[in-house]
Amino acid sequence: MTATSSGCFRYVQLSADEFRARLPEALAIYVTAMRYPDGTAEQRAPMWLTHALRAGWRCMAALDADDELLGIAYGYKGRAGQWWHEQVRQGLTRRSGVPEADRWLTDYFELTEIHVRPENQGKRIGEDLLRRLLDGVPSANVLLSTPEGTSRAWKLYRRLGFLDVLRDYHFTGDPRPFAILGRPLPLDAP
């Protein structure tokens, strides 16, 4: 675990073992922040654990003075054959063609999850987590998916220069429309 401080928050890079140890806490933030129904954490836990085994996986956490998790962000090197990659490739190819899909999906880091406790949102924790997570990522681009609609997350992504890659996309098994956003790396200085 490596740590840096900013204000009254401490940011740490979690190893896969540390991530596993904090998984229930991280999933509780995820469920609350996304307003998902009870039982969602149990469904997501195996997927999050599998993600931690992927090439290029990294995770940042924001902790308070009592070592409680305030926010978490993680991602990994996106590759062909991964579910998200294949879903996005299919959507991009259908709407924009193979060259646009190749442009974004050849060398990217997938920002898989970023969540901050609702009572701690608006304190730049999300931006700090995102910047720390992406610092030094060797990929050409970063991509993420987020539900369509105005939110603090949208404002953060726009402020950091994320562009529309694919809008109003429906992932298999989810009725909500999503936006795929991306931008070249590295991020601009704050």
Active-site annotation holds for 76: no
> Exactly one of 76, 108, 157, 169 is catalytic; which is it?
157
DSSP secondary structure letters along 46-77? HHHHHHTTSTT-EEEEEE-TT--EEEEEEEEE
User: CA angle, corner 38, sides to 30 and 82, nearest 5?
Assistant: 50
Containing 187, the helix (H) or strand (E) segment is none
Rounded alpha-carbon distances, angstroms, from residue 55 to 4, 114, 138, 145: 24, 18, 12, 19
DSSP secondary-structure letter at 32? H
Q: How far apart are the first and last CA of the chain?
A: 24
Across the strands, what pairs with 184?
A: 141
**Greatest pairwise CA separation for the chain in angstroms:** 50
Angle between helix axes 98-105 and 83-96 (nearest 10 degrees) is 140
Contact 75, 136 (CB under 8 A): no
Which residues are known to be catalytic? 157
